[in-house]
Structure 1
Amino acid sequence: MAKRSLHTKIVGLTLSLSFFIILLLTIYFTYMNGKQIVEDRGRLALELSKTVSLMPTIIEAFETDNPSGTIQPVVEQIRQKTGAEFIVVGNKDGIRYSHPNETEIGKKMMGGDSQRALEKGEYYVSQARGSLGLSMRGKSPIFNEDGDIIGVVSVGFLVEDIENQVAKVLSKEVVISLLVLIASIVGSNLLSKSIRKDTLGLEPYEIANLYKEKNAVLHSVQEGILSVDQQGMITSMNQRAKSLLGIRGAVRHSKVDDLFPSHHLYEVLKTGEPKFDKEITWKEKTIIVSYTPIFDEKSVRGVVALFREKTEIEQMINALSEMKTYSEELRAQTHEFTNKLYALSGLLQLGEYEEAIIMIQGETSELQFQNQIVFQQIKDTKVQVILLGKLGKASEKKILFEIDSESYIEKLPEHINLSQLTLILGNIIDNAFEAVYGSNDPIVNFFATDLGEDIIFEISDNGTGISDEDLPVLFQRGFTSKDGENTRGYGLSNANKAVKELGGIIEVHNGKENTVFTVYLPKKV
């Protein structure tokens, strides 16, 4: 079924209501006016008949030999002045003494509605058909000086004339009603155009669809989104923004000032110029905020703020960096194996078959041992990927990277993701490689187990160790023991932060012969 447009709905509803109301009012006022006209004519007829019945001339004429000669001229003059259709005066027997048509004088009054006046002396209004047609009549008895009823006065207005007057009133009301209906049509069209202008020409169902889509997009994105109007009142905020700002409950139509530092937001409202990647600190979080103004036809209507946590961006960068490092390490491993293949090819070409066999057996046994541990005892693919990359890097740097034969872990819980694991293991193992690089017999050992409630990773090296002065600041951001390098000092800090996010801890044991980093990650959050 096709959806009706807003214009059709507004015009249709307005016209229907207007027509219905106008019709009701027209019927009501026509009925009331018609009733009023009938009552007025009846009242006028009655008053005229009373007036004529009390005239001394009329009463005295009844005592003369020719009452009609006196009464007819008098009542005809009154009739012409008042606009009555007829004024008939009759005696007690209903014989006419006056009539607009003189030929009817002397004949009996018609209609049969004079008994109450002649017999009971009542004054009243009646409706009856006489010689001139159906009429509204005022009836009054005529009394002599002794109080006896000697005749009756009947003053009438034709019903046809009354109906014609009502029709004239109705025609005026119909004209007025049509003018009102036309005004309703014009007004509804103007209203429809005004509403469509405010809604940018969109239909209500299109606005509803946009609202649903906006909500779906608002709550599906990973960034926090907040929008405010010109007064700084919040118009929308997604759950991610609430999480980043530490807000609970509904905030719509609340002032933005108390929720987070909003001076940049008000600057954008004032100037209309966007601001990007502004750092704010709120509730021990460093948040990157971008502000974009919302414009209407003339001015800034509001601002949209986009929130991103700085640590998340850093983690993403670090994870990408680690992935790049693994890629380079795998290329190095490929390069090393290529060199070994060239060496093996040389031995075969020189006929040094025993040396070639020893070389193949050595490489095979070493690979089989490593692969057995990595693929059969380490059953989590994320850890496997990290270890394979580090094995290649160790081989290139001529470092003995040993994976303890007692290592064993099942698939890690879902809340431990690859980027976090890369930050933890990758940075600690790289730190161990750097500690032993260049020494006479560089060895780095790796051990992993998931027995108990925690997952434990242990990385040890036989490097130079860590000084007692450096231990307290080992995990501080920017700290490095390498002289003259200002681009380092973030690896162990990032690893420690990732461990804390997973609810774990890192322990450091600085022995005489080796340095041991032990990571404890709880299996349950």
Structure 2
Amino acid sequence: MRFSTQTLLLQLGVVLLVVLLSGTVHAWLVYERIGNEAENQALTLARTVAADPDVRAQVQDISKEQGTPPASVLAAGPLQQAAEAARVRTGALFVVITDETGLRLAHPEPARLGERVSTDPSAALGGQETTTRNTGTLGPSAGAKVPVYAPGTGSAGGTDGQGPIVGEVSVGYSVESLGKSLARDIIPIAVTAGGALLAGVLASFLLRRRLQRLALGLEPEEISTLVHDQVAVLQGVDEGVIGIAADGRISVFNAAAARLLDMPDATGQAWNSAPVPAPLKELTRPAAQDAEAVEVLAGDRVLVASARKAWHRTEDLGWVVMLRDRTELQQLTRQLDAVGTMSAALRAQRHEFANQLHTIAGFMSIGQHEQAKEYLARISATGPLKFPVEQAELLQDTYLQAFIGAKGVEASERGVVLKIGPETLVRGHVADPQDVTTVLGNLIDNAVNAAVAGSAAERWVEVELLDDVTGNGGTLHLVVGDSGDGLGALGPDEVFAEGFTTAEAPVRAGAGQGLGLALVRQLARRRGGDVRILDTGTQGGPGAVFMASIPGVMAAGGTDNGAGATPEKESDG
């Protein structure tokens, strides 16, 4: 049996039990009230009969005689007539008069005259008025017994009754008449009980329907299973899951979401006021129902966020936001970009190596040793590779030489000249190539894009580098300018906001357009540095100038990247 059916039956049983108990108690109270009224009515009638002077005189006369008159005499006597007249007039079951010994002087059944009463008369003969409910010769009844005093010495109910008691009057009303009165009064009780039962049944059905609707038609056992499964799944996955109910409250916020967003559990908070990145809230706007996944910067993490509308049949359940961590993938992608850029540059220079070797071989084969020597000296002076970067000889660190040289090849392919500023001075070597690649690469890429999109006739990007290797960790200072049209009226907050980009389309799918500047600023600030705008530029050029300071990425002395020599060794060579 379904739990909802069990609940309904239990509710109906409780309602029925309450109605029956209430009806029974009400009926019993009504019966008691009718019985008490019958006793009071019997007491009043008994007092009236006992106070009648004729009755008192007749009872006294009979009590003075020796013995009791025969039944035939009593049946025709005045006491019988008076008692029967009172009984008929009031509808009582009996009106009985006895002498001082309890023998009947008046009774509804003449054959029982002269007999002793069936109930104990001692209390009334002792001077007490009593009410009783008992069963006599005429059946069960509710009645009263009152003493009869001799004439002139007292009265029924009086306080001066010092004379002798010559008999008693017993009056009773049939229990069957009480039942008839109860039957008349029980109809409203039954109607009330029936109405209450009907209301209880209707309320039980309505409550059952509401519970089923709230529980989506699921039984408690199914809900319990779903809750256990939900907890196991939500807490066991690495992806962040945020559930937003239809009323705008966060209903699900798993541990992975708290970890990825670096915030405490937000369950129960209003989604619009929750401290989550703004792009996540934009995903749950009605207009963004079919929006594609977006990349979001949360602290030092790059997250891929997607949102889907949740429905159960036709009921709107709200939104489900999924978060996937792409930080490591972004780092690997940046490293791969750097490696790919350098490898592309090296492939571009392979022919130059081949041509140089062929030239040297040609000089040697024709015996022009001096010219071959001069040619080798010229190659040694300009470096083993010839990148299209002006003043590349100012760079001493081999990693910076290779990376900026490779960026120069890329820029040259897009018609942009990449040059090194004359104030460049790098005495140490790069100790953390990954962060340097991230910051420098993003700034150069943005500058190249701005130069390509600019209106200046000559397209160029200039990079100046200066290191400070004093202290525990060396700092690398970068300044990047371009020939673009500048930032115009845009402020720093807009430029470094997530999603800002001047590119019309990403260079490749999933390149994370709009995250570069925000990412490099957070990276630099995490190390204790910063990225800021030195000049917003002008229309027609020169363009914007960005400056970055990255502490802890440089080291003094010889290189440890295996690709170059110290400045001293370079000068000695």
TM-score range, shorter chain: 0.5 to 0.7
Match 1:251 to one of 266, 273, 278: 266
In structure 2, what is the equivalent of residue 126 of structure 1? 132
The code of the aligned residue for 1:117 comes to A
Q: Secondary structure at the match of 2:275?
A: coil
In structure 2, what is the equivalent of residue 370 of structure 1? none
Q: Secondary structure at the match of 1:80?
A: helix
TM (normalized to structure 2)? 0.55
1:86 aligns with 2:94: yes
Deviations 1:419-465 (A, max 9, x none): xxx859966984895597345489xxxxxxxxxxxxxxxxxx96469
Aligned residues: 386
Contact 1:289/1:306, CA 8 A, preserved across alignment: yes
Identity of aligned residues (%): 22
In structure 2, what is the equivalent of residue 437 of structure 1? 350
- What are the residue-to-residue correspondences of 1:64-463 with 2, within 5 Å? 69-105=77-113, 107-118=114-125, 120-144=126-150, 145-147=152-154, 148=163, 149-159=165-175, 161-162=177-178, 177=193, 180-181=196-197, 183-248=199-264, 250-256=265-271, 257-262=273-278, 265=281, 268-271=284-287, 273-295=289-311, 301-312=317-328, 314=330, 318=333, 423=336, 430=343, 433=346, 437-438=350-351, 440=353, 463=385
Q: Secondary structure at the match of 1:480?
A: helix
In 1, Cα distance between the equivalents of 2:405 and 2:232?
40
TM (normalized to structure 1)? 0.59
Distance 1:312 1:167, change over 3 A: farther
Match 2:407 to one of 458, 466, 480: 480
Contact 2:341/2:407, CA 8 A, preserved across alignment: no
In 1, Cα distance between the equivalents of 2:216 and 2:404?
52
Single out whichever of 72-81 and 422-431 deviates more from structure 2.
422-431
Distance 1:278 1:434, change over 3 A: same
Single out whichever of 76-85 and 137-146 deviates more from structure 2.
76-85
Distance 1:73 1:160, change over 3 A: same
In 2, Cα distance between the equivalents of 1:258 and 1:131?
88
In structure 2, what is the equivalent of residue 405 of structure 1? none
In 1, Cα distance between the equivalents of 2:301 and 2:403?
17
The code of the aligned residue for 1:108 comes to E
In 2, Cα distance between the equivalents of 1:201 and 1:14?
19
Once the two structures are TM-superposed, the CA of residue 5 in structure 1 deviates from its matched residue by: 1.5
In structure 1, what is the equivalent of residue 160 of structure 2? none
Deviations 1:500-521 (A, max 9, x none): 9xx997879998xx8349xxxx
Q: Secondary structure at the match of 2:131?
A: strand
The code of the aligned residue for 2:307 comes to Y
Q: Secondary structure at the match of 1:156?
A: strand
In 2, Cα distance between the equivalents of 1:230 and 1:478?
55
Q: Secondary structure at the match of 2:292?
A: strand
Match 1:43 to one of 40, 44, 47: 40
Please tell me the root mean square deviation across aligned C-alpha atoms, in Å.
Answer: 4.8
Distance 1:288 1:127, change over 3 A: closer
In 2, Cα distance between the equivalents of 1:52 and 1:246?
99
Deviations 1:71-130 (A, max 9, x none): 33333333233321011122223333322223434x134224111111x20001234443
Single out whichever of 250-259 and 475-484 deviates more from structure 2.
475-484
In 2, Cα distance between the equivalents of 1:60 and 1:476?
143
Distance 1:424 1:275, change over 3 A: closer
In 1, Cα distance between the equivalents of 2:173 and 2:337?
111
In 1, Cα distance between the equivalents of 2:352 and 2:148?
149
Distance 1:475 1:20, change over 3 A: farther
Distance 1:428 1:234, change over 3 A: same
In 2, Cα distance between the equivalents of 1:76 and 1:200?
76
In structure 2, what is the equivalent of residue 10 of structure 1? 7
Q: Secondary structure at the match of 1:515?
A: coil
Contact 2:23/2:193, CA 8 A, preserved across alignment: yes
The code of the aligned residue for 1:515 comes to A
Once the two structures are TM-superposed, the CA of residue 152 in structure 1 deviates from its matched residue by: 0.7
Once the two structures are TM-superposed, the CA of residue 141 in structure 1 deviates from its matched residue by: 0.5
